[in-house]
Amino acid sequence: MTKEIDKSQMFNSATLVHFNKKIYSNILAEDSVYGDERALGKINYGVETGYTLKKGTKIYFLPSEWIDKLPIKIRDSIKITDRTSVYHLIRDCTSIKIPSENAIDFRELIDNLCNFEHTYPNQFLLYKIMCVVAYVSRTNWRVASPPAFGKDSVVDVIRDLTNNCARIDKATPAKLDFVLKFPFILCNEIASLKKEEKEVFLQFGLSAGAKQNRYTKPTRKSQGTKEIYDISLLSLCFTYNNARYYREKGFNTFDESFPEQFLDRFVPFKLDGFIKVGQFKRVGEVDFKQLADDFHPDYIKMLKTLQYLIENQSKPKYEIDEGYVFGKGRYRWKNDFSIICSYISHYAKDKEEYRMLTDMLYKAHKRYMNEEFNREQSLFVEEEIVK
């Protein structure tokens, strides 16, 4: 890795923001396409046909021969008028497709990602694996933890690296319209939604949780949104504080806020510990822009490897323990647990470590069933928390 002395700041948000701006500013991707191929009017500016793409308040016109280059970075554009429409005609661009390459092995990818000091490092390791699996594969899960565990941090890092996933707080249906293009959506703290918003969100969660290929909005489309979305690659996951946090404040817990058919689509885990906040340097203490440049080759290797993992789905190296049970009818939980374990098998250096980590993941599930539900709903005996 680059500059060992600064390695702890590699995934500081102040470092990543410079990388993200450098790579993804002035970017148009497939989700920006706004309509079918069309021709310009009498004044064609040397371009006969093309596609309109919308980003923010601007509508761009991309010549047809460049459509296969998406995603692209705009190098030059000019403002034109076509009848009553105003476009920004793209005159020069470059493709920014990240090539697929197994640039680093899976263990190195996970260990280097969010290399933060944590009071329960093994719990945090499992969460990092779960987030990467949600990005490169298709899985549904939910995690309860203490407030400072670091639930947001891992997803935010993947978001800033790839520009291709979303974390949304108070996940209202309106916000969902603008993030359904991503393959991984993490929803944080949705139990407090208003009743009418929760009803719409419930239908979405049932569709995504059942791993359906399409989601049809129950409300009519508005400008910039669609009625039917392709969710065939979507991992929908949830994070929230543990039940004790809500009960002490007199609020309903996540499990008390949604019906069983919804909950049964998302395998639950309870993780513990917190990130040591003092490890992060602040603006003025280091040159974050220089750090982003120094770590640029490492970020690109990660992006290439993530793309490789998407295109080459993992097959388990070891068989899953038959003793992991999830209750009658909860086949979805076992299936998603097995997907995560498959990737753990590629992280583990041997079968013994694989068994240790999968046992730890299963105990995190059992702790959820013991501690997050009401005591009379407890299904398992309590286990010692493994740090």
pLDDT of residue 6: 60
Residue 102 has pLDDT above 90, yes or no: yes
- In the chain, CATH 3.40.50.300 covers 118-275+314-387
CA distances 84 to 41, 63, 80, Å, are: 10, 20, 10
Q: If pLDDT is split at 50, 70 and 90, which confidence band does 155 have?
A: very high
8 Å CB contact between 160 and 13? yes
CA distances 165 to 89, 156, 180, 298, Å, are: 28, 9, 9, 20
The distance of Cα 94 from the centroid of its chain, to the nearest Å, equals 26
8 Å CB contact between 40 and 61? yes
Higher pLDDT, 226 or 30: 30
Mean pLDDT, residues 158-180 taken together: 84
Residue 255 has pLDDT above 90, yes or no: yes
Mean pLDDT of the chain, nearest integer: 88
Host H or E run for residue 275: none
CA–CA separation, 244 and 263 (whole Å): 19
Q: What are phi and psi of 233, to 5 degrees?
A: -110, 5
CATH superfamily of this structure's domain 118-275+314-387: P-loop containing nucleotide triphosphate hydrolases (3.40.50.300)
Residue 380 has pLDDT above 70, yes or no: no
Summarize pLDDT for 284-309 with one digit per residue, the tens.
Answer: 889 999 999 999 999 999 999 999 99
pLDDT of residue 386: 58
CA–CA separation, 293 and 297 (whole Å): 8
**If you search the block for the tokens 């390791």, which residue do you land on?**
125
CA–CA separation, 301 and 197 (whole Å): 40
Mean pLDDT, residues 207-221 taken together: 82
Q: If pLDDT is split at 50, 70 and 90, which confidence band does 375 have?
A: very low
Residue 328 has pLDDT above 50, yes or no: yes
Residue 206 has pLDDT above 60, yes or no: yes
Percentages helix, strand, coil for the chain (3-state, rounded to 5) are 45, 20, 40
8 Å CB contact between 43 and 317? no
Q: If pLDDT is split at 50, 70 and 90, which confidence band does 229 have?
A: confident
pLDDT of residue 2: 43
CA–CA separation, 164 and 57 (whole Å): 21
The distance of Cα 159 from the centroid of its chain, to the nearest Å, equals 7
Host H or E run for residue 159: helix 151-162
- Greatest CA separation for the chain: 76
Tell the burial category of 29 from Cβ atoms under 10 Å away from its Cβ (0-12, 13-18, 19+): middle
Beta strand pairing call for 72-82 and 85-95: antiparallel
